[in-house]
Chains A and B, each alone.
Chain A
Amino acid sequence: MEALYATTTGLLAACGVYLTLRGRTFPVVVGLTLLSYAVNLFLFSMGGLAMHGNPAVVGAGSPAADPLPQALVLTAIVIGFAMTAFVVILAMRARGDLGSDHVNGNRLDDSKEKEDTK
């Protein structure tokens, strides 16, 4: 089961990284979101995977899941959302001000994009 979990995490991370290497803003944002899922899953598993565990509530019975990674991941999820929001709106702003959604250092606004959106 651990192998299955690790493989899934790795696969998500790989897909996320691939997307962050694209040359336009939106795939990069999607890639970052995907990567953050992978990272959250990874961090979450640091306390071990409680297959038959109980929630980390006192009195809920033992074995209980490790609460510490959960607390960390909980805030990570919320902060991750804030950062995704910031990045995507930065991308919109960049497109509004620069007229392009490139992130490959190429500022030229190609006509193909115009056609796409029309």
Chain B
Amino acid sequence: MTLLLIVLLPLLGALVPLMARNLPRARLAWLTAVAPALALGIAVFHLGDVFSGMVPQFHLPWIAELGLNLSLRFDGLSGLFVLLILGIGLLIILYSRYYLSGEDSLARLYSFLMLFMTAMLGIVMADNLLLMWVFWELTSLSSFLLIGYWYQLSEARKGARMALTVTGAGGLALLAGILVIGHIVGSYQFDDVLAAADQIRSHELYPVALVLVLLGAFTKSAQFPFQFWLPHAMSAPTPVSAFLHSATMVKAGVFLLARMHPVLAGTDLWFYIVSLTGLATLLYGAWFALMKQDLKGVLAFSTISHLGLITLLFGFNSQMAAVAGLLHIINHATFKASLFMAAGIVDHECGTRDIRKLNGLYRYMPHTTVLAMVASASMAGVPLLNGFLSKEMFFAESLDAQLLGGLSWLIPALATLGGILSVAYSLRFIHDVFFNGEPKDLPKTPHEPPRYMKLPIEVLVLICLLVGILPSLVIKDLLVSASASVLAGPVPDFSLAIWHGFNLPLLMSGIALAGGVAVYALRHHLYSFQRQFRARNALLVFEANVQRLVKLSERSMDSFENGSLQRYMLWLLLTALLFVGIGLLVVPQLGGELEQQPFDGMLLTGAVITGLAGLGTAITHRKRLISLLMLSVVGLMTSLAFARFAAPDLALTQLAVEVVTMILLMLALFFLPQRTPKESSARRIMRDVLLASAFGVVVASLNFAILTRPVESISDFFMANAVSGGGGHNVVNVILVDFRGFDTLGEITVLGIAGLAIFKLLNRLRLFMPSSDLDGRGWSPDRHPMILATVSQTLLPLALLVSVYIFLRGHNAPGGGFIAGLVTAVAIILLYIARGVDWTQRWLRFPYQPVAAAGVLIAGLTGAGSWVFGYPFLTSSFGHFTLPVIGEIELATALLFDLGVYLTVVGATLMILANLGKLTTPHRPTKEKM
């Protein structure tokens, strides 16, 4: 539980600065520091267990089905990183308080920092690979916020975007790699993965998993060729750079290498990919660190170079090399964080980071100079400092690498070259900035920074010295326990001594130091050499590529989404044709084993009328009214077809809907153009006819193929259980209100929503109302013919009676809520037509929206009612009652549900039609005078 607190505390701490943002800065800084300080305390408390070889773990199932659990571990490796993240994080909090100017929001920076800290802690403590990945992506997101902190600067925005794109893409590769590993192992828990290490390494998917995981690590740790994002992340405020590029963010990549070392390392493939990438990055970063004129740029490229060094060490596949890698992680974090902070002080006090202008600052800030000198010397690998220890171990390990065969000597040679360059740029950082003449037109006159701004640097430099002078005392325990988790086994005996006697590594160190000084002395020749190459700004190249991608996707989107419904329909139809067509191609023969049933003259006539009416609808579509009449013939024929094939419920529904649809479409047509102008080119018509024919052929073939094959229906169950389970004899209705009641509830809800949407669409609709028909004839003056008015009025009670009858018998004989609702609606609509809106509304004063809503509510409550009795949603119960006159009647809760259906249908239908009809009255609110 306390483990969870280590991660949770900084997360909660992210809220603290936001809530305290109006406090004075000093107090804000102290308050923010509380959460990470507590977390650090807990971590230190656990460290004792870790040193004695235990691994505290925390496990909370999260989405266990997917293998994702909230599992945390605190082994040596986690411990090392937690100390770095929280320790340096605390120093950064103190430093930021002085660095950030008054205009910038300190609270926002703190909040982002804490968020980022949480994500980093999550990565290093996750005991589940998927969980680790979640935190991994969180670091990408929160570092995006941090790098883009000065969002008003275009550089910062672009740099943040680039960092997010590169590390985010790498994160996706990592996820894929983790999934492959999970596929091999069958679990994402780290212990399971660790136990299956041999299985993974010998699996045929190992290379895939390895490359994907390494892509994640290399993008994050800015390894060649993904190094380009890191220098541009320097547009972040310097405290952020100091945090991101020393102890965190970029260290997440090498952390991943360390974490997966016992699982993935040990193969030749690992050696070749990891060590060669590391070597290339080491040299590339070192060279450009020497060339950069920007103070932070020098540090950025030196960071790349040192990350390459660590990667190279992990790539060596040797136990001692892994130990050296871990040691260098600690050392690099300490000296690089202090160097960044020193660079921040210089920038803060001088107003520029240009090395060509910064000279001789020693006289203005001697204290800072000394601190920077020590840190730089550590970076260069000068004896008595921590950088020297890891560099010696690095040189020693490079001598042992044998896998390059006859060319293996290249590795120590190139390692020494890297060492030479590293000395040269460290020297440059000190000599060019703090000595070497006088400053040239600085924006500000430099002086020493506030006392406590230097404190974080002093702490880190002290650690550099302590580790460098007393390594066994200060760092050995931590290093051994971290190595134990990286090696997943016994740690080789090693001595952390400054003096190992005269040997080859010492000679290499000597060459590096002397060579570095020489290279620095010759630097101007190197600069002019470098100037012959055209400098390419990675930011511009990246942005240009992004722009190109965006253009490409815009172009392809435009060709799909051009605003033409016809185009969309085309794609939709082609897709449908493709998939169904393929399905039909696979079938050996169209007809199945079933004999066709014979047809009689009546069926033939019906089919011919339906077909002709359908064709007529299409052919006469430009004369819209005629087309509509043709359509109504199809609808009626469909209803007859339902009746012919023993589906009375469907026939009734179709008939009622047909009436309502036709009234609706006619009303709509009144407001729309009466004719469709001739627009389509012959070629377009040809295309559409072909497409439609193809679609028709596919539908017909499919239908025929299914009809001539025997069906395995689940309906027997419904037939058998309708009476015993649903208390009704009409199985269709029982299915609707009972077996599949939940579907019906959804459907009437949709109906209600459609009605509401239409009500809203009609609100304040301005429409052009034609005053005459197409040929210029005025509308009939007899708006409400008397015969119709009389008949409709007489019919209304009769129709209502019929609908009640249909409703009540629906459970046992054809009928039910849907049909009854439609019959009621049709009767009321007839009244509207015959008597007009004004008259009808005077007599029928009920609003339709609440009726529809009440319907959905009743149906829903009926369903929920079964909860009261401890049954699942929509369980129906029924009983038999004997009523006088009528006789025995069966009452089921399903009837109540059906009442809901009935009310919804009535309400929604009238909401649609009555509101549309209202538009035709002279009293509509937005009448236009024509």
Q: Which residues of A contact B (CB under 8 A)?
A: 1-31, 33-34, 37-38, 40-42, 44-51, 53-59, 64-68, 70-71, 73-75, 77-86, 88-93, 95-97, 101, 103-106, 110, 112-113, 116-118
Of A14, A20, A74, A83, which contacts B732 at CB under 8 A? A74
What residues on B are CB-neighbors of A4 within 8 Å?
A: 599, 603-604, 607
Our pick among A19, A53, A57 for the contact of B813 (Cβ within 8 Å) is: A57
Chain A residues with CB under 8 Å of B718's CB are 67-68
Inter-subunit contact B566/A21 (CB<8 Å): yes
Give B54 Cβ to nearest chain A Cβ, in Å: 62
Cβ contacts under 8 Å, B767 to chain A = 92, 95-96
Q: In the complex, what residues of B have CB within 8 A of residue A38's CB?
A: 699
Q: Which of B643-666 contact A (CB under 8 A)?
A: 645-650, 653-654, 657, 660-661, 664-665
User: When the two chains form the complex, which single residue of A1, A6, A86 contacts B703, counting CB atoms closer than 8 Å?
Assistant: A6
The answer to whether the Cβ of B614 comes within 8 Å of any Cβ in the partner chain is yes
CB-nearest residue of chain B to A18: B692
A8 to B641, CA, bound (A): 11
* B822, closest chain A residue (CB): A78
Which A residues touch B152, using CB under 8 A?
none
B342 at the interface (CB under 8 A from A): no
Write out the residue numbers on chain A whose beta carbons fall within 8 Å of the beta carbon of B714.
68
Known: A21-B566, A44-B642, A77-B653. 18 other contacts (CB 8 A): A1-B597, A6-B703, A10-B703, A11-B610, A12-B634, A13-B696, A17-B573, A22-B680, A26-B624, A33-B631, A44-B647, A53-B645, A55-B646, A77-B654, A77-B657, A92-B668, A105-B562, A105-B566
Q: Which of B734-780 contact A (CB under 8 A)?
A: 735-736, 740, 743-744, 747, 750-751, 754-755, 757-758, 761-762, 765-768, 770, 774
Which residue of chain A lies nearest to B758 when distances are taken between CB atoms in the complex? Answer: A89
The contact string, 1 if C-beta is below 8 Å from chain A, for chain B 704-722, is 1011100101110011001
With a CB–CB cut-off of 8 A, which chain B residues contact A37?
634-635, 638
Residue contact A55 to B703, C-beta cutoff 8 Å = no
Q: For residue B604, which residues in chain A have a CB less than 8 angstroms away from its CB?
A: 4
**Residue in B closest to A8 when the chains form the complex, CB atoms:** B607
Q: Are A104 and B713 in contact (CB under 8 A)?
A: no
**Bound Cα distance from A88 to B667, whole angstroms:** 10
Instruction: Check if B597 sits within 8 Å of A2, measured CB to CB.
Output: yes
From the candidates B621, B706, B731, B768, name the one contacting A45 in the complex (CB within 8 A): B706
Which of A19, A44, A88 neighbours the largest number of chain B CB atoms within 10 Å of its CB?
A88
Q: Is B32 an interface residue (CB 8 A)?
A: no
Q: How far is the CA of A9 from the CA of B761 in the complex (A)?
A: 33
| Contact, CB under 8 Å: B691 / A75 | no
A104 to B607, CA, bound (A): 34
A21-B691, A30-B617 given; A75·B743 CB < 8 A: yes
B604, B707, B912: which has the most chain A beta carbons within 10 Å? B707
7 A-B residue pairs with CB within 8 Å = A8-B611, A12-B610, A12-B611, A67-B731, A70-B732, A104-B566, A117-B770
Distance from A56 Cβ to chain B, minimum over Cβ atoms (Å): 4
Given A9-B699, A19-B618: A88 and B757 interface contact (C-beta under 8 Å): no
Tell me whether A15 and B692 are in contact (CB under 8 A): yes
Q: Are A6 and B649 in contact (CB under 8 A)?
A: no
- Which of A70, A79, A89 contacts B649 (CB under 8 A)? A70
* Residue from the list B603, B654, B735, B754 in contact with A71, Cβ < 8 A: B735
Q: Separation in Å of the B866 CB from the closest CB of chain A?
A: 20
The stretch from B194-202, B213-221, B669-677 touching chain A is: B669-677
B664 x A96 contact (CB < 8 A): no
B920 in contact (CB, < 8 A): no
CA distance A12 to B703 in the complex (A): 13
Knowing A6-B704, A22-B680, the reply to whether A41 touches B736 (Cβ < 8 A) is no
Residues in chain A near residue B438, CB distance under 8 A: none
Chain B residue contacts of A49, Cβ below 8 A: 597, 645, 707
- Give the complex CA separation of A21 and B692 in angstroms: 9
For the complex of A and B, the 9 pairs showing the least CB-CB separation, nearest first, are A10-B700, A14-B696, A105-B564, A105-B563, A18-B692, A1-B599, A103-B565, A6-B704, A82-B754
Kindly list chain A residues whose C-beta atoms are within 8 Å of the C-beta of B645: 44, 49-51, 53, 65
| Partner of A15 from B615, B665, B675, B750 at Cβ < 8 Å | B615
